[in-house]
Structure 1
Amino acid sequence: MDSSNQKLYDIIIVGGSYAGLSAAMTLGRSMRNVLIIDSGNPCNKQTPHSHNFLTRDGVPPGEIAKIARLEVAKYPTIEFYEGFAVSGSKISEGFVIKTSDGKSFITKKLIFATGIVDSLHAITGFAECWGISVIHCPYCHGYEVRNKKTAILADGDRLVYFTSLIKNLTDDVTLITSEINASNADNIAILQRNGVKIIEKKISEIQHHNGYIEKVIFSDGTAESFEAMYAPVPFLQHSNIPQELGCELTDAGLIKIDESHKTTLESVYAVGDNSNMLRSVSLAVSSGSVAGVKINGELSAEMFR
């Protein structure tokens, strides 16, 4: 690839939501040449309100992102490109990132703020309620559904811990599980001792009004009314470029990072949901700031010899 006529950015940030914009602001304030590549498709686009973030509690997430983008755009060394990054490769100058429309950009260092994609259950009505009344996090949404009749659609080793967080917010908690067997019997017993009701059935449909649960329909034709449902779901990385470049993943499927958000590949960082199981706007913003400080320090050290 002939990159002699291309602009060499100090940093390309793939993903322009909270984590990416936070990193960009830190770097822009240090006069670094930054390009943000973003396709405008955040995973929380259906969520009506964001919570647990000082000064913006209860504000729609899209509005927070809009304010952040306007603030970041004030810094003259920051550029935006609307597009979807599809590939990346190592070159002598650093890295090249290519987008789906055939454009390519080169950079010394990379930040991936690409987020994750939730693998939603194939239940009628589930996707329409996701982020509204079918939720994943008691810290992000729990206060708003406190004291409401609540279902949990979950399983696994952390079920008791997860349920304990929700039971603190409402006494009316029901675990919905498709099967009770030897592998989860002990957990089920603990939950029952703590007043959690158990329904051992498969869900066929969630009836709702504009994303707000009204009733859960089971495969045997019976139904139960609920006002909220917690449903931790599996996820995939939104971008496979980090792996293609050689970044390692954790056993949970997150990009492996150190305390400064550096990946296992030199000069490549990951921020936000793609590398942190605790998904929230505040933590995404924090991760971007930390990575921005670290990268600016690296660039300064490389120049100051």
Structure 2
Amino acid sequence: MDWDRLRIFHAVAEAGSFTHAGEKLNLSQSAISRQISALEESVRVPLFHRHARGLLLTEQGEMLYRTVKDVFHKLSMAEARLAETKDRPSGPLKVTTTMAFGSTWLTPQIKEFIDLFPEVEVTLLLSDEELDLGMRQADVAIRMSPPRQPDLIQRPLMSVKHLIYGSPDYFARRGKPETPSDLDHHDLVVFGEEAPLPSKTINWLLEVGARPETPRRPILRVNNVYGIYRAVRSGLGLAALPEFMQPEQTKLEPVLTDLDGPVTQAYFVYPEELRHSKRITVFRDFLLRKVAEHNF
């Protein structure tokens, strides 16, 4: 069935006459009549009873009208949704990032984003494994290293600095190191041997100021930054933590702040095909503003 004829049929059924439908569609009465006749010929059944007072739908016409009306309603809703998204972003947004960044920095910011854009349906996927954006396992990733997948757009988000932190309980029990070599006499929490890049750079704590003949032995190895963070909060020992975890909010104290720890780059990453997504644009801009507010 021809789409233009169905559109005219819908208008005629709504108006109840060729004349009124023609006024609505800006077509002549004869043009409307020809299109309806052609539609009836194509479906091989009469769609209207014609009489002096106007038009009445036949049984077959009623059936077609219900279907066409439903289609037009759905199209109208879709059109409204499309128009709305030009100004008000909406729809699902899956964001993946590391357990540490997501748990300690990103999650506390999300309330403000949802307040600003309540029609965006945010899902956070926290994992130290890289999800495949090309396969749409997520829409956006915040990664602590450059993406390895092709056809991904990447935007530098922040420089991630690392400092050595400990808890007040630990310092009350063991004191604070005054020089890098003092770390020989402290309990250190570091990454496990299978730590993924760039996490291995955090294990500089085992080497800075150390003597080759007396290598340091950590009190605990953990394969997750958030796990290290929790161990330090418990008072177990010292560890190098990224500043984005905001340890000062949990009263962790930095030591040996003159040491230059590793600096890694965090990236905002998304597939090329989502370049023009309004949801991604507003989320990216929101993150850049929050990063600037925190002076990262």
Flag whether TM exceeds 0.5 (same fold).
no
Structure possessing the higher radius of gyration over alpha carbons: 2
Q: By percentage of residues, which structure has more strand?
A: 1
TM-score, scaled to structure 2: 0.28
Q: By percentage of residues, which structure has more helix?
A: 2
